[in-house]
Structure 1
Amino acid sequence: MEINTKYKEVDREPFNDPTLYRKLVGSLVYLTMTRPNISYAVQVLSQFVVNPYRIHHTALLRVIRYVRGSMIQGVLFRSDSSIHLEGYIDADWAGCPNSRRSVTEAEYRAISAASSEIVCL
């Protein structure tokens, strides 16, 4: 998603195929189970499934391009190196521009996924 862009419920031009938007967002929601790094973007875009606008669809396509471009990336742990794991969490206080509420769903899911990964490692 673009940095410092605030997505609103009503924007300039409505998207002409809301069903396609819903299907794509639904697919990305399913994908967040294995890709928690896109959870925040998907959570923001899922707020507009009832009435998507062109700017929301453009942001959705950016997320899909990011997923396509990062499919082969991963983390390599060598067997001869010592592993020191650290976890960081970013808090979002009153980040929703429409309701001024905190966006916590993506953070909780990311914490859960990171904790599970650390326990497995």
Structure 2
Amino acid sequence: MVKTIHLHQNDSELYHDPVSYRQLVGRLLYLTNTRPDITFAMKQFTQFMAVPTVLHHKTMSRVLRYIKGTLGQGLLYPPTSIIQIKGFSDSDWATCPDTRKSISGYSMFLGDSLVSWKSKKQNTVSRSSSEVEYRALAIASCEIQWLTYLLNDFQVLYKHTALLYCDNNSARHIAANAVFHERTKHVEIDCHVIRERLNNKLLHLLPISTSAHVADILTKPLEPTPFNHNLSKLGVINIHFPT
């Protein structure tokens, strides 16, 4: 997607055939099961199913051209890997022009293999970037706990504690600090599940630079260079291109 274009409800005139728009979105949603590179774009398009505009359809046509040029692209799962859960949590603050809600995303790896990812608009408006990142951490920690339970149900033995990476220093400090101060007064109680997971030693919360954050691709449109760089880190390759 073009980085400078921000889709919203009244960005252009209404599209003349909304039924075909909905049908196309429905078909493309199946691709997100194997193509994390279009997950953010599809999250954007599904918001305007009721009243799509010409710009919405034009932007989706760009995604279709991208898919046509990368038909051999998909996830590669290496045969050998360490059994350890690694998660990357990220968010983009107040980017929805219509509601000013934020977008959060996470990507979960089992060793070097991407097994779970998500891009979603948060349910409430956040008053600070720290609150946004903290909510994203809470969602990601719940996914880590679910994957841990799943491994236990499959009787898969693992010895390494899960790792969760976040590029926001304030959110990491709030999660590790039990002192209640003014930065957390407006954060809902259910967001503090991340601290509970930390205290129970379910995961370790680690810093990461924004440039190395692989979940960036799930929260915002990127320029081609960082976009392709993120794809390679997610384990997405194109079998039609030479290695």
TM-score of the aligned structures, taking structure 1 as reference length:
0.75
Q: Distance in 1 between matches of 2:27 and 2:111?
A: 23
Which runs of at least 4 in structure 1 moved beyond 6 Å after TM superposition?
Answer: 75-79
Matched, 1:9 2:9: yes
Point out which structure has higher relative CO (alpha carbons under 8 A, 6+ apart): 1
1:47 aligns with: 47
Matched, 1:24 2:28: no
Q: Distance in 2 between matches of 1:57 and 1:12?
A: 11
Q: Distance in 2 between matches of 1:65 and 1:117?
A: 29
Q: Percent identity?
A: 38
Q: Which residue identity lines up with residue 65 of structure 1 in the other structure? A: R
Q: Distance in 2 between matches of 1:116 and 1:43?
A: 27
Cα displacement (A) at 1:9: 0.3
Task: Show CA shifts across 1:78-121 (max 9, x none).
Answer: 99xxx8xx9765421222111111123xx24xx14x45862789
Q: Distance in 1 between matches of 2:44 and 2:36?
A: 14
TM-score of the aligned structures, taking structure 2 as reference length:
0.40
Q: Distance in 2 between matches of 1:69 and 1:60?
A: 14
Q: Kindly indicate whether the alpha-carbon contact (under 8 Å) linking 2:34 and 2:75 is maintained by their aligned counterparts in 1.
A: no
- What's the secondary structure of 2:99's corresponding residue? coil
Q: Which residue identity lines up with residue 49 of structure 1 in the other structure? A: M
**Paired residues, what number?**
112
More strand by share: 2
Alignment root-mean-square deviation, CA: 3.1
Q: How does 1:1-121 map to 2 (within 5 A)?
A: 1-73=1-73, 90-104=90-104, 107-108=105-106, 111-112=107-108, 114-115=109-110, 118=113
Higher-Rg member (1/2): 2
Cα displacement (A) at 1:20: 0.3
Q: Distance in 1 between matches of 2:16 and 2:2?
A: 22
